Amino acid sequence: MQRSEMSSVAELKERHMAATETLTSLRQRLRERRLQLLDTDVATYARAQGKSPVSFGPTDLVCCRILQGHTGKVYSLDWTPEKNRIVSASQDGRLIVWNALTSQKTHAIKLPCAWVMTCAFSPTGQSVACGGLDSMCSIFNLSTPLEKDGNLPVSRTLSGHKGYVSTCQYVPDDDTHLITGSGDQACVLWDITTGLRTSVFGGEFQSGKTADVLSVSINGSNSRMFVSGSCDATARLWDTRVASRAVRTFYGHEGDVNSVKFFPDGNRFGTGSDDGTCRLFDIRTGHQLQVYSPQQQLQNGGNNNPNPDVTSIAFSISGRLLFASYSNGDCFVWDTLLAEVVLNLGTLQNSHESRVSCLGLAADGSALCTGSWDTSLKIWAFGGHRTVI
């Protein structure tokens, strides 16, 4: 019996090749079929319904705080859900926790590994997590007393990834669980109290060829579902109870998916990619709903630079606005309904001087924070006088 197995290696290889081919052809057919079914997109429909675009007054979104203090490129930021605090991670090897209202630092955490790529605030605001090229996710409890040398000790390290940790997010309303995405092509759900992996999503063994995970986003209304964006230009929807395979894979992008973010209603999610576009996908149908491509908007004709990469995205609370940051320092505010750019933060006063690497919306939606390679973070909010009702 073993013998027959051994002798069939070549045959297996052949079958594998054939299966791969079938798979690609099926995928192609699926794509074609989807295209046929796709008779409209959000913008076309909204226009047909006579929706008018959002308009911004001059003081509707202004830079009202500049958070200075990092000495390296800012790579990631996250808001606390309830209080107005921000954690940011930078190449100077520090995590800084900011009070967004006073624009002061409350903690500056020196990291054991300076090459940090991501950070996250826990739902209760008690602790922060970060991950980077050290392939680990480190948890810092902010209330831990400082060590003698003035550093905050690491309260827990989650190790097990075989590649860099590119993204991490706490499971909403659960301080003990965290999802990371990694360069080893897998996402992992961690139990922080034990420091062990609860489940592994994707990776080399389970789901065939994929690529580095760059971003994850957990569904706000159903925290069992999350999406991951990866270097193979796809986004995958996962159910944390079913680790073996992705619920659905979303094709469409032509470059690495740098950022994914669930739409506030939890039935859609947005993506931002190296191909310069943002897209909106529906998780129930698997369809792509809309492409947000600056090329259609801005005719930078003759510019042989292709679209700048989308580095990060965020939705407003209502979902009507999509904030997307670009590698050239722009930061567009998209009208999600009409797919029009309504504002470019990059042209406003006090805009960033370099790639905007990350952005995030405060939990109550009142402010947007952007982090940039120019080492600063900026908070954008309504700048005029609001009539108090």
Interface ranges with another protein (CB under 8 A): 2-3, 6-7, 20, 65-69, 91, 98-99, 102-108, 113, 115, 117, 133-136, 149-150, 162-164, 166, 183-184, 205, 209, 211-212, 214, 231, 256, 274, 328-329, 346-347, 349-354, 374
Identify which of residues 221 and 300 has a Cβ nearer to another protein in the complex. 300
Distance linking the first and last C-alpha atoms of the chain: 81
Closest approach of Cβ 40 to another protein, in Å? 33
Closest approach of Cβ 95 to another protein, in Å? 12
Closest approach of Cβ 80 to another protein, in Å? 14
Identify which of residues 42 and 214 has a Cβ nearer to another protein in the complex. 214
Identify which of residues 204 and 265 has a Cβ nearer to another protein in the complex. 204
In this structure, are residues 83 and 365 in contact, taking their beta carbons and an 8 Å threshold?
no
Query: Sheet harboring 196-202: ordered strands across?
Result: 165-170, 177-182, 186-191, 196-202
| Three-class SS state of 191 | strand
Identify which of residues 105 and 248 has a Cβ nearer to another protein in the complex. 105
150 residue type, one letter: G
Identify which of residues 108 and 381 has a Cβ nearer to another protein in the complex. 108
Closest approach of Cβ 286 to another protein, in Å? 25
Identify which of residues 263 and 323 has a Cβ nearer to another protein in the complex. 323
In this structure, are residues 326 and 272 in contact, taking their beta carbons and an 8 Å threshold?
no
| Phi (first) and psi of residue 338, to 5 degrees | -100, 0
In this structure, are residues 171 and 200 in contact, taking their beta carbons and an 8 Å threshold?
no
| Phi (first) and psi of residue 27, to 5 degrees | -60, -40
Closest approach of Cβ 81 to another protein, in Å? 19
Can you tell me the distance from the alpha carbon of 167 to that of 217, in angstroms, rounded to the nearest whole number? 9
Closest approach of Cβ 176 to another protein, in Å? 25
Which of these, 379, 334, 372, 375, lies nearest to 356 by C-alpha position? 372
Which of these, 125, 130, 85, 76, lies nearest to 105 by C-alpha position? 85
